[in-house]
């Protein structure tokens, strides 16, 4: 007697019965009596009424009065400012064809889109270099934006700076195998470009330069590196003062003599204490 192996059908199993409720509406069926009861507003519960005390009302006028009474700090005149900061910026039209204006007038005037335009470069007075800033990045767009921002910051601080100087682009090329097995004979090239820019500054106070550098580091742009070189100058006569002070280092002989002197003083003091004890 031969036994035939039971072959499992590849047809997907389907349930014999299908629940028609799933195809029906999902809204539950309710009776007319229950719908009428739901339409009626619910009666409010009779809760005891508790009287609350009145809260102290604080109006805007009272708040302004309190602010006005508060003692204020030094005024802008006592701080040595030339203009009132509350009145700045001033809305006025500046047209060189009508009347000439200075950089001070331009800085205190409200000009829309000032940051989009090229910054004003202050003229040099003594041609004394104070700082060099080098910028590095792989992205030209980010590099140009941050150097434009740095130039505007130097203009706002009154630092005579140069225009953005474009330095040669550093290029590196690597040639490697495309694959160790299938594409062993083919090669692939990888290239990396480092774009460089530079800004030079002259005739500025060291404190102002440090504030400019700190401002750029605080608002640094990701993907842009910055290298700063600064010069600090000492007043005249520093060399003569250092020579007058002399060498502060002590020689070995002086240390040895000082040690012997301390030993002699300690022995004399010890002998005197022993004589007092015997007496």
**Architecture of the CATH domain 127-230:** 2-Layer Sandwich (3.30)
What is the average per-residue pLDDT within 157-173?
Answer: 95
The pLDDT score that the predictor gives to residue 40 is: 54
Label residues 220-251 b or e (16+ Cβ within 10 Å = b): ebeebebeeeeeeeeeeeeeeeeeeeeeeeee
pLDDT tens track for 46-86: 555 545 444 444 554 554 444 444 445 778 888 888 888 88
Determine the pLDDT at residue 120.
87
Residue position matching structure tokens 């270099």: 129
Model confidence at 162: pLDDT above 50:
yes
- In this prediction, residues 92-99 reach a mean pLDDT of 86
Domain range list for the chain = 83-112, 127-230
Q: What is the pLDDT of residue 238?
A: 83
Tell me how far apart the alpha carbons of residues 30 and 46 are, in angstroms, rounded to a whole number: 30
Whole-angstrom distance, CA of residue 247 vs CA of residue 144: 51
Question: If pLDDT is split at 50, 70 and 90, which confidence band does 161 have?
Answer: very high
Q: Which of 19-28, 95-104, 156-165 has the lowest mean pLDDT?
A: 19-28
Report whether pLDDT(38) > 70: no
pLDDT number for residue 24: 47
Mean pLDDT of all residues belonging to the chain: 78
How sure is the predictor about 187, in pLDDT bands with cuts at 50, 70 and 90? confident
The pLDDT of 83-90, averaged and rounded, is: 86
Q: Residue 200's pLDDT is what?
A: 97
Tell me: the pLDDT tens digits for 208-257?
Answer: 999 999 999 999 999 999 999 999 888 888 888 877 776 656 678 888 88
- Nearest 5°: the CA angle 188, 190, 194 is 170
Q: Are 203 and 130 in contact (CB under 8 A)?
A: yes
């Amino acid at each position: 007697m031969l036994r035939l192996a039971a072959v499992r059908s590849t047809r997907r199993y389907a349930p014999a019965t299908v629940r028609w409720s799933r195809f029906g509406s999902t809204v539950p069926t309710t009776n007319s009596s229950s719908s009428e009861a739901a339409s009626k507003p619910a009666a409010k519960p009779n809760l005891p009424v508790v009287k609350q005390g009145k809260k102290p009302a604080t109006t805007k006028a009272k708040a302004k009065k309190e602010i006005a009474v508060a003692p204020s700090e030094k005024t802008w005149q006592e701080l040595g400012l030339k203009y009132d900061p509350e009145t700045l910026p001033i809305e006025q039209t500046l047209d060189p064809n009508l009347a000439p204006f200075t950089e001070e007038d331009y800085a205190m005037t409200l000009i829309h889109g000032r940051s989009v335009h090229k910054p004003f470069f202050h003229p040099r007075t003594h041609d004394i270099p104070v700082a060099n800033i080098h910028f590095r990045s792989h992205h030209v767009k980010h590099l140009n934006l941050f150097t434009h921002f740095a130039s505007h910051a130097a203009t706002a601080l009154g630092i005579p700076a140069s225009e953005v100087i474009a330095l040669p682009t550093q290029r590196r090329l690597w040639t490697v195998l495309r694959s160790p097995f299938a594409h062993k004979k083919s090669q692939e090239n990888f290239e990396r470009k480092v774009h460089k820019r530079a800004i030079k500054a002259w005739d500025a106070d060291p404190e102002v330069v440090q504030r400019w550098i700190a401002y750029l580091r605080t608002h640094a742009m990701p993907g842009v590196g910055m290298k700063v070189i600064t010069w600090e100058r000492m007043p005249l006569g520093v060399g003569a003062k250092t020579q007058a002070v002399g060498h502060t280092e002590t020689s070995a002989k002086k240390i040895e003599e000082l040690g012997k002197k301390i030993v002699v003083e300690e022995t004399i003091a010890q002998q005197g204490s022993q004589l007092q004890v015997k007496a």
